Amino acid sequence: METMSIVVLLAAVALTGLIAWYFFGPKKSHRASLDDGIQVVSVTVKGGYSPDVIEVVAGVPVRMLFDRQESGDCSSRVVFPDFKVNQALTAFETTAVEFTPDRSGDFGFACGMNMLHGRLLVIEPGPQERPRAASGSATAASDSLAKVQGPADPVAVSNRTPTDAEDEEAQARDRNAEIRDLTRRVLVGAVLALPVVFAVMATELFSVTWVPGVLLNHWVQLALISPVMFYSGWPIHRTGWLALSHRTAEMNSLITLGTIAAFGYSLVVTIAPNVLPSDVRQVYFEAVGVIITLILLGRLFETKAKAGTGAAIRTLIGLQPRSATVIREGKEFEVPIEDVAVGDVVMVRPGEKLPVDGEVIEGRSPVDESMVTGEPIPTVKTTGDVVIGATINQTGSLKYVATKVGSDTMLAQIIKLVREAQGSKAPIQRLADKVSSYFVPAVVAIAIWTFAVWMIAGPPPSFIFALVAAVSVLVIACPCALGLATPLSITVGTGKGAMAGILIRSAEALETAHKIDTVVLDKTGTITKGSPVLTDILPVDGTAGDDLLRLVASAEASSEHPLASAIVEGARDRGLKVTEAATFESVTGQGVRAHVSGLEVLVGNERLLAGAGVDPTPLVADASALGRDGKTAMFVALDGRAAGVIGVADTVKDGSIAAIAALHDRGLDVVMITGDSRLAAAAIAREVGIRRVLAEVMPEHKASEVRRLQAEGRVVGMVGDGINDAPALAQADVGFAMGTGTDVAIESSSVTLTSGALLGVVTAIDLSRATMRNIKQNLVFAFVYNGLGIPIAAGVLYPTFGLRLSPMIAAGAMALSSLSVVANSNRLRGFTAKPLPDVVRVPATDPVVDVGRDEEEEEHTMHDATSTVKDPICGMSIDPANAARVIERDGQKFYFCSEGCATAFEKAPDAHAGHSH
């Protein structure tokens, strides 16, 4: 082997080792300083994060001061997915990000587009528990305990949290400024590079002779391309070098290395041609000009397209009015929405948006809530009804008391949830992140070996061939396609969900939902309306139905039982006059006895009539028929004789039947779970078309039934709305909570359906499937593009087919690759929920009904009575060792089955502290 070949190989080996050490060797960590009980660290944002490895202690609040010394869309947000932080960073300002790391570990943080990365090392309190440094991870260097000071002027960091609208306006200004800047740089690049490219291509490819010789002059080409290299390409080179200085690398680093190699070599040929052999005195100014111009053009299109992925957040923010009309001391004042306080009386007129959440105290008007709940039909609001900010008042006027303002409103919570979801990472993204972490160093290594191999074995002049191939490898590689593949689709998917009234808490939930094969539906409040209504009036012996109902309603008017309320409301809906009973007596466990219009009225069960000496036999057949239909039958007697049966039932919600049919059509098994009797449960299941029922399940055992289904290998989605559903929602692979349900259920769920309709479950699963399909398309494209493009650029086709890739073509392909991923992600914006059919044919089949088994009691028969405790919120029996969370208060310990129950306890501990454990 020639000496030169040996030198080239040794140099390639040495450079490869140097690259491996530089990118993967130990890094120095910086520990936050402690200031008045808060860990404080300053981070400079300029082409990366500095420092990018930060050490903090678990359980102590952290304030990170991000000094963003640049503009542009990429670094406009910082995301800590493990701690649900997704914060906008204003350009050329310092933004404080505060949170408390609740567990130790090595956690990543990144910009909103997953291009810039840092690491947060969270250690346990106490030096003995500090993790040891391993190869490739941050080491606690001798100065790692040095304080990281905050800004010289603490006043420079505002304590006021910007509103969502201010955040969005700042980002819009940032984005528009970037677009204007990129447009200028692209125009400069195009105007100066096109003459050079035209002259070179026309001469070399078509051998034309009429091209002005001045355009082929190396000095003229240098003069034309230098502004393209140093002005147009400045954002690329600046970001690329900054990333390399942080011992990381990304797409800009590759472009910078490639263009510097080509420009530097051409500069030597132009200024000192005699130092090179005559056969390698070729310049590549045209390649530099085209590479930079095409990259910037692709970035310009990409920036414009990325703006579309956040359209849902901007739409939600735009829903809120900027001002409100409040009544203070009897006078109306128009004030900024930020000045509305809890307790203010707000006035809204026809066509106006409601500024904040509240409760109506005067007026009646339909309100369009579609922008929040996804329900297209306006809801009539009157005194006592709850109204939601950002919804639109229609034909009437309303006065209401503000109950939630600022960050507590439903709209603000929706925006917060969407941002948290968009900042979280889906499990599928871990693969892309893992590959991306090795991608750029691997590409640089491939470029080095490409140069080495062709330098040794390439056709003459081998140096030129090797240089062109190495530059092509650097330019064609596109880590952006990998980095953007998942977060852009997640951003669009969660945003589309929010616009449809589906609040997805995390990217993981969005991904898991597409794997669901079994949907478990709680009956009450999920399939049914959750409140009983009058369904049947069955008089006997010639008693008029309206007379019977009037007497029964008057007798029940003094009762607070939900069934009594259903009867009274049903009578009033029929226009019957409900009078006050002369006497009223509630018979525990049986019913009521009252005197109405001179008649003794008995309303209750069979035992009530029998105990009063009334023969209930004439009513038994009708009562049994109602029971078979899942209804509650109430026996009625008038003056000692059987008079009829009243039927009350929790009726099926509008749309439940169609939604359940849609779930079946998508190949999902649907299971209903309820505490009702087998007979009542079967009746509802038969009505809605459910084939499998878990009946007589105690509230605390719903989670056990979900576990039992998971043990069968199923991926379970649980849908519920009550406190007793919280453990099951937390246990399920994906928990869907009705937005009309309790706060505990919502906190325990992965997805919240603001409309409270089952259609949301169908739409959420459809959206998950569409999003995952989109992500997989992006990833396949990114892997295939890089997997084919890099070898072709390296010259693998040259020995067989004589084909090699020009750096200019490589640059065009790279620009198109990122743009293709962005464009494909934007296709999700066209997702629409499929409407449910108006008429659904329910199959006439009897469901299979299983009775819930007391798994919890079986599990604990081996333990002492003291080995289990009860969750003070939902009442579920749990093993202390398996509690999701333990809270100690006033010397007592409280154990919780889920984070949702723990959060509910923290909000109102005094209301539950009596349940000591």
Question: Per the domain annotation, does 882 fall within a domain?
Answer: yes
Q: What's 674's domain CATH number? A: 3.40.50.1000
The answer to whether residues 539 and 645 belong to one domain is: yes
Question: Per the domain annotation, does 273 fall within a domain?
Answer: yes
Question: Nearest Cα to 299, choosing from 814, 875, 878?
Answer: 814
Q: Tell me the residue range of the domain where 685 lies.
A: 502-527+652-768
The answer to whether residues 298 and 183 belong to one domain is: yes
Question: Per the domain annotation, does 680 fall within a domain?
Answer: yes
Q: How far is CA 897 from CA 203, 584, 908, in A?
A: 76, 43, 17
The answer to whether residues 246 and 304 belong to one domain is: yes
Q: How many domains does the chain have?
A: 6
pLDDT at 740: 63
User: What confidence tens digit (pLDDT) does each residue in 779-835 have?
Assistant: 888 888 889 999 999 999 999 898 888 787 877 787 778 788 888 888 888 888 887
The answer to whether residues 520 and 539 belong to one domain is: no
Q: What's 388's domain CATH number? A: 2.70.150.10
The answer to whether residues 675 and 685 belong to one domain is: yes
Question: Nearest Cα to 193, choosing from 227, 240, 152, 160?
Answer: 227
The answer to whether residues 175 and 301 belong to one domain is: yes
**Half-sphere exposure of residue 777: CA atoms within 13 angstroms, side-chain side:** 17
Question: Nearest Cα to 549, choosing from 520, 575, 528, 513?
Answer: 575
Among residues 401, 421, 441, the one where a domain terminates is 421
Q: How far is 413 from 99, CA to CA, in rounded Å?
A: 18
Q: What's 545's domain CATH number? A: 3.40.1110.10
Question: Per the domain annotation, does 616 fall within a domain?
Answer: yes
Q: Which of 522, 536, 676, 725 is catalytic?
A: 522
Among residues 721, 746, 768, the one where a domain terminates is 768
DSSP state string for 599-657: EEEEEE-HHHHHHTT---HHHHHHHHHHHHTTPEEEEEEETTEEEEEEEEE-PBPTTHH
Question: Per the domain annotation, does 170 fall within a domain?
Answer: yes
The answer to whether residues 659 and 522 belong to one domain is: yes
Question: Nearest Cα to 631, choosing from 687, 689, 697, 701?
Answer: 687
CA dihedral 243→245→247→253, nearest 10 degrees, is 40
pLDDT at 83: 86
Which string of b and e fits 560-582 if b means at least 16 CB within 10 Å? eeebbbbbbbbbeeeebebeebe
pLDDT at 40: 94
pLDDT at 91: 83
Asked if 284 contacts 808 with a C-beta cutoff of 8 angstroms, the reply is no
Spell out the residues 6+ positions from residue 71 whose beta carbon is closer than 8 angstroms to its own: 91, 92, 174, 177, 178
**Half-sphere exposure of residue 294: CA atoms within 13 angstroms, side-chain side:** 24
N-terminal to C-terminal alpha carbon distance within the chain: 81
Question: Nearest Cα to 26, choosing from 187, 109, 136, 155?
Answer: 136
The answer to whether residues 348 and 300 belong to one domain is: no
The answer to whether residues 352 and 338 belong to one domain is: yes
Note the pTM of the prediction, 2 decimals: 0.70
Question: Per the domain annotation, does 158 fall within a domain?
Answer: no
User: What confidence tens digit (pLDDT) does each residue in 804-815 have?
Assistant: 887 878 777 877
pLDDT at 876: 65
Question: Nearest Cα to 526, choosing from 265, 795, 756?
Answer: 756
Measured from the Cβ of residue 11, the count of other Cβ atoms closer than 10 Å reads 14
| Radius of gyration, CA atoms only, the chain | 35
Q: Is 522 a catalytic residue?
A: yes
The answer to whether residues 172 and 298 belong to one domain is: yes
Q: How far is CA 298 from CA 67, 289, 290, 479, 811, in A?
A: 28, 14, 12, 14, 10
**Residues in the chain with pLDDT < 70?**
1, 112-114, 126-168, 170, 205, 280, 305-313, 371-377, 421-425, 700, 722-724, 740-748, 852-868, 874-879, 882, 898-900, 911-917
pLDDT at 344: 94
Question: Per the domain annotation, does 19 fall within a domain?
Answer: no
Q: For tokens 């899942």, what's the residue?
A: 630
Question: Per the domain annotation, does 774 fall within a domain?
Answer: no
Q: For tokens 């449910």, what's the residue?
A: 836
AA letter at 329? E
The answer to whether residues 303 and 331 belong to one domain is: no
Asked if 45 contacts 92 with a C-beta cutoff of 8 angstroms, the reply is no
Measured from the Cβ of residue 338, the count of other Cβ atoms closer than 10 Å reads 12
Instruction: Name the DSSP letter for residue 890.
Output: T
The answer to whether residues 170 and 297 belong to one domain is: yes
Among residues 403, 421, 439, the one where a domain terminates is 421
